[in-house]
Structure 1
Amino acid sequence: MVLTGKTALVTGGGRGIGRAVSRRLAAEGAHVIIHYGSNEQEARATAAGIRQDGGRANVIQAELGRGNAEDEAAALWKEFDEVTDELHILVNNAGIAQGRATIESVDFDGFTKLLAVNTLAPFFVTKHALPRLADGGRIVNVSTHLTRGAALPDLIGYSMTKGAIDVFTATLGKHLGPRGITVNAVAPGAVDTDMNADWLGDAREAVAGLSPLGRVAVPSDIGDVVAFLASDDSRWITGQHIDTSGGALL
């Protein structure tokens, strides 16, 4: 229960990696605010599961990536403020990987959507978090291992949006150090989630073969690392890109 007395916001916290993060933070004693954009059922089911296990969870809704990113972030924090006035941990998890396309076939609307959700949203959500975030707090961003080296050709747009998150993480880690706030990014490879279900089914054996550990990641593999970065055990780590791909780049 290393996070007892802490309050965490997890964007996109109702499903996939976000659900695993929400559940693990709650299991460590945190009061978890689960944000969702459109899938209310999954978010409320995650919160209900946390409460059933004896934890604390609330659900808030705010669209990200549909309009003015700063206005959307302000709307999210307005919802948050109606639940609590405390914030110790921010997990920027919400993201999309839709519209896989090479540079020859990518279209403007698809790439703009990736930028809006994966880059602009966490930037402005974090900006509006800073006045609320307690000194000594934690920010954890979800990146990807594909920002190290050349990405898959049909994930060039997605990887570029996450490359910006890596720069954001390192720069913010330096900027917020005087407040005792650490900022780190977890960088998963392929994870067995609903978002990846369409393509992962036929590619499971090949993807498992990329890791020396010989399997595909499950959401809790990432959630457990986020929980470590949210705890005091990670107090001397900041501005880092933490590879959580099971060694897929080795």
Structure 2
Amino acid sequence: MIRSAVIVFPGSNCDRDVKVALEAITGFPARMVWHGESEIPACDLIVLPGGFSYGDYLRCGAMAAHSPIMRDVVAKAKAGTPLLGICNGFQILLETGLLPGALMRNASLRFICRDAFLRCETKDTFFTRCNRVGEVLRMPVAHHDGNYFADEDTLDRLEEDGRVVFRYCDADGAVTEAANPNGSQRNIAGITDSTGRILGLMPHPERLFEPQLGGTDGRRIFESAVVSIAEAMVG
């Protein structure tokens, strides 16, 4: 049995989408955990979903990072529980310091809601086991603050350590300025921590995980997590 938990904040709006995706792919119920709780039940995977936690007041994710439940999220992640932050969840991960950098306003200063193409840069993470290096995926983006920023030393370190997991690209996989929807440095769409078990991702894999939604490219992120969990259980 694969036990997953979705953290729900005031203003989350993709929590149920993630729950549906997790349950369809794992075959087991996903637990919805309210931000005011102090502890997450024993689980094999935690997801911070997209949305506008606390109305995006102060900074996106800044208030959610200090919710009571986040103390346990951070503790469990540091102890090895896989953690996926999607869109607002990525913003929260940065605010907790579990991942480096910041997400600023889109370069256009406009909210962006459309499909984007991503190139998978590595399969050596918990969430990309079922992908191919160089594979191009299509996923929806829906954000106002998705412009990834970090200082040059941090960016270089992420590159050297293979922690840049996804980059915005065109349909043929070319990483270009025109293919970058929000101005993110080096077209970065998703990064991981040094263990590969914590992933922050701006696009929404849960919105494109089955044919009825118009595509299945997002499914492999969840399938990769399932494969990794199953292997860890056997090992």
Bigger fraction of residues in strand: 2
Tell me whether the two structures share a fold, i.e. TM-score over 0.5: no
TM-score by length of 2: 0.42
Structure 1 or 2: more helix by fraction: 1
TM-score (norm 1): 0.40
Q: Look at both structures and tell me which one has the larger radius of gyration over its CA atoms.
A: 1
